[in-house]
Amino acid sequence: MFIPAELIRKKRAGRHHTHEEIRFLVQEFARDKLPDYQMAAWLMAVCFQGMSDEEISWLTQEMRDSGTVIDLTDLGLTVDKHSTGGIGDKTSLILAPLVAAAGIPVPMMAGRGLAHTGGTLDKLESIYGFNVRLDLKQFRAQIEKVGTAIMGQTQEICPADRKLYSLRDVTGTVDSLPLICGSIMSKKLAEGMSALVLDVKFGSGAFMKTLGEAEQLARALQDIGVRSGKRVTALLTRMDEPLGRFIGNALEVQECLDILQGKAAPGGGKDYSDTVELTLELAAHMIFLGERAKSLQEAKALAGVLLKDGSAYSKFQEVCAEQGGDLEKGLPQATHSSSIKAPIAGFMHYKDTERIGHACIYLGAGRRFQTDPLDMAAGVEVFRTNGARVQVGDTLFKLYHSGGPGVDDAIREIEKSFLISPHPVERTPLVAKVLL
């Protein structure tokens, strides 16, 4: 038995906890025996003093073990993917069916929108009838039958993480690296995966603003995975401009459906090439970790074939059918639209992509408060890549909405997200680094 105030003082002084001390803090809090005010004080101490690699690993383990841990070992190698989030980041919708079509089970526990970034669960719920609230029995049964299932965190999975995240959200402790690592990896370890591919984003549209910050997070996540006996590969990817053509729930689903069916993007604007490029890179690493290819080159070629020949789309249709989704009913359509045009000629320069995510919140595609309903049809269409030449009057963005009071705020946010430069702007590689 430990005295909570002493553990708070210990971390406040920058000293390291033992595994038993961390177990006490996490398990007592999960069982409602440690009050919020004491855990909040400890979280703030962690924010200021950090944690050692061992402490982070112990924290993750105890968060995982606060609830049910799914056992999928009888299914062979299972592989999942996790993204730290960005603007227009929609690759999970294609990756799960694509990798499952390669014969690799993909247990995917996804999340909802967070701050300025969208969430996979919200996007899937823009498909009529799609059910992301599977129980653990349904989750396992669908993976066995279809090869993949996408669900939200259940009451049984990592209850300590759910409580801790709610507390972090209101105490200004969300952006602590040890706490981010514990939250991400506890859920991934609990879902039963054998290997994990991380998409750690950096840039003005990501939580990590620099490549160095992204690499620090990626290596910390990898370390937790290795200590838990898992294989983890991390891709550090650019998020200084939106990914793909569309941002918003139904809009992003439509982009993914187009890609899965081999359809081109609508004319007159940006194409889908960056979404496809990143999807195939991530898929290649997932297929390689799942041992369905002898090299990354072979894995990427296989991913390309499965995307092109319709196998991935057929698998997506199976997932929809199993989870109640009805693609025949179509996706929600916005009733209003507004355009933002180039005021001068020059070159497109995204200077603060996060503001485009804020604009989507004003349009109703994201939440300001947890209880906010979503406008599934709302969002933004992107017409120019970073560095693209623009002429006066060219359409740069198109906003989709229901005509509510947030439209003017959304337009102002987008107008602050870019400038028209008189000089060409360098467009950096989409994948900056791979950590194997």
Write down the residue that tokens 């259940």 correspond to.
154
Phi and psi for 275 in degrees, rounded to 5? -60, -45
List the beta bridge partners of residue 382. 397
Residue pair 255/242 in contact (Cβ under 8 Å)? The answer is no
Give me the catalytic one of 11, 64, 81, 82.
Answer: 82
Q: What strands, in cross-sheet order, belong to the sheet with 246-247?
A: 246-247, 379-382, 395-401, 336-341
Choose, from 81, 112, 162, 187, the residue flagged as catalytic. 187
Q: Does the annotation mark 163 as catalytic?
A: no
82 is catalytic: yes
* Rg from Cα positions in the chain: 22
Structure tokens at 384: 């120019």
The torsion defined by the Cα of 29, 35, 39 and 44, in degrees rounded to 10, comes to: 160
- Catalytic residue, from 92, 183, 194, 204: name it: 183
Q: CA of 68: how far to CAs of 15, 29, 37, 145, 207, in Å?
A: 31, 17, 26, 22, 29
10, 11, 123, 168: the catalytic one is 168
- Conformation bin of residue 303: beta by default, left when phi > 0, alpha when psi is -120 to 50: alpha
CB distance 243 to 324 below 8 Å: no
Whether 336 is catalytic is: no
Question: Which residues are tagged catalytic?
Answer: 82, 161, 168, 183, 187
